[in-house]
Amino acid sequence: MQKLDRACFFWFAAVLLVAGGLALLAAGVGQLLSSSSGQALVSERADPLGVREPAPVMEKGKAEYAHPIPARGPYLGQTPPGAKAERFAPGLVSTPRDEHGVPAFTPDGSEFYLTRVVGPPWDFENLRFRMGRNGAWSQETVRFDHRERHAEIFVSRDGKRLYCCSLRPISGDPDEQTWNLWVKDLDGKDRPSRPLPPPVNSSFHECQPFEAADGSLFFTSWRDGSPDLFRAVERSGGWVLDEGFGPAVNSPQEDKGAFVSEDGDRLLFWSNRPGGEGKDDIYLCRVHADGRWGAPVNAGPLVNSPFREWYPRLSPDGRYLFFLSDRTGDFDVYWIDASVLGAEKTPSASCAGIVRTEAAQKRSGR
């Protein structure tokens, strides 16, 4: 009887082991199938120092940091939108996490940067997406030369400079908690990033950098109390602030995230000024014949919603408007045909309108 009980016990144990092995095998196959059916495989490279951002940013884009994602062709192979805003690249770009900004494309559209919130309070990861010659895309984590938080990456049109905002202390005081603008030269020499000098950075927050083709820098600053739009130009003697926006654009409320179209005739930004569609709306300004900016106009219900819309930017070919919205709960990236703004096929990244503003000021004697 004891032999029979012992045999039954071993038989039952063997059945459990086989069942467990089959379950593990099924789980592995299921994971493989789900990854090949269009789900993004987002893996984080473990750092030997135990920190998330140890290495210099853009250190020649080391291939071992990158991994392929299931996307091929321009704009990650997504079907272009019409006059209705749609989430951009669900599962690849727009995820269950909050995105913090929209894709910052290089001029040829083969590469873009994206900031994503990965934990409170405002813990960010910065990603670079690149399309290869065969049209296939890969993704890698951007590494900075300091462990403090970084966000809102923007690459200059000539590809020589990378901007971001960071909580990295300028003064060296570890208790300093001010967002400032930093820049890194992408010349292959791996020099450390540096803070932009006054009057660009101040003792207040500076965020949302955008460099135009002429080298002028647009950004948001809290130096006047509420956040406003600013523009700075680098001269031989240093950076100079331009007062071209003024009360016609900047309101007593919050005005953030300036973006200027390639022809310089359109300024996009977001604001919580009254009279909008929701909490924060995207606004559009057009330049007058004398070079001054006209009154901001709400982008309308095709773009804005009862919720928040941030970070308006046109695609490199000018065909699409990208923006961020929390209309479905999480902050996701949306895109829509740019014709809803009357700016169809107007590329993005110069500043001719502001240049004409300076010329108009000289002609008028202001």
What pLDDT is recorded for position 5?
A: 52
Q: Is it the case that residue 28 has pLDDT exceeding 50?
A: no
How far is the CA of 236 from the CAs of 314, 334, 356, 364, in angstroms? 31, 40, 21, 25
Q: What is the pTM of this model?
A: 0.76
Beta bridge partners of residue 60, listed in sequence order: none
Domains of the chain as residue ranges with CATH: 56-364 (2.120.10.30)
DSSP assignment of 249-297, as one string? T--SS-EEEEEEBTTS-EEEEEE--TTSSSSBEEEEEEB-TTS-B---E
Count CB atoms within 10 A of the CB of residue 40.
Answer: 18
Give the neighbor-by-neighbor strand order of the sheet with 86-87. 86-87, 332-337, 320-325, 309-314
CA distance 66 to 87: 24
Q: How many residues does the chain have?
A: 366
| Coil/strand/helix, residue 59 | coil
H or E element, residue 86: strand 86-87
CA distances for 344 relative to 82, 111, 207, angstroms:
12, 22, 28
Per residue in 97-147, pLDDT tens? Answer: 999 999 999 888 999 999 998 877 668 889 999 999 999 999 998 877 677
266-271 and 255-260 beta bridge pairing = antiparallel
Spatial separation of the C-alpha atoms in residues 47 and 65, rounded to whole Å: 11
111-130: b (≥16 Cβ within 10 Å) or e: bbbbbbbeeeeeebbbbbbe
DSSP label at 43? -
| DSSP letter (8 states) at residue 6 | H
> Kind of pairing, strands 309-314 and 297-298?
unpaired
Greater confidence (74 vs 66) lies with: 74
* Mean pLDDT value across residues 1-25: 48
Residue 140 near residue 127, CB atoms below 8 Å: yes
- CB burial readout 341-351, b (16+ within 10 A) else e: bebeebbbbbb
Distant-in-sequence, close-in-space partners of 336: CB < 8 Å, separation ≥ 6: 81, 82, 83, 84, 85, 86, 302, 303, 320, 321
Q: Which two tokens stand for residue 359?
A: 């010329």
Least confident of 42-46, 72-76, 222-226: 42-46
Give the number of other CB atoms < 10 A from CB of residue 331: 21
Give the pLDDT band (50/70/90) at residue 342.
Answer: low
Q: How far apart are CA 147 and CA 291, in angstroms?
A: 43
Q: What SS3 state is found at 232? A: strand
Give per-residue pLDDT as tens, 248-307.
789 999 999 999 887 778 899 999 999 889 899 999 998 888 878 888 999 999 999 999
CA 200/CA 241 separation, integer angstroms: 7
- b/e for 295-307, b at 16 or more Cβ within 10 A? ebebbeebbbbeb
CB 162 within 8 A of CB 178: no
246: CB partners within 8 A, 6+ apart: none
Element (H, E) at 282: strand 281-286
> pLDDT (tens digit, 9 = 90+) per residue, 212-223?
777 789 999 999
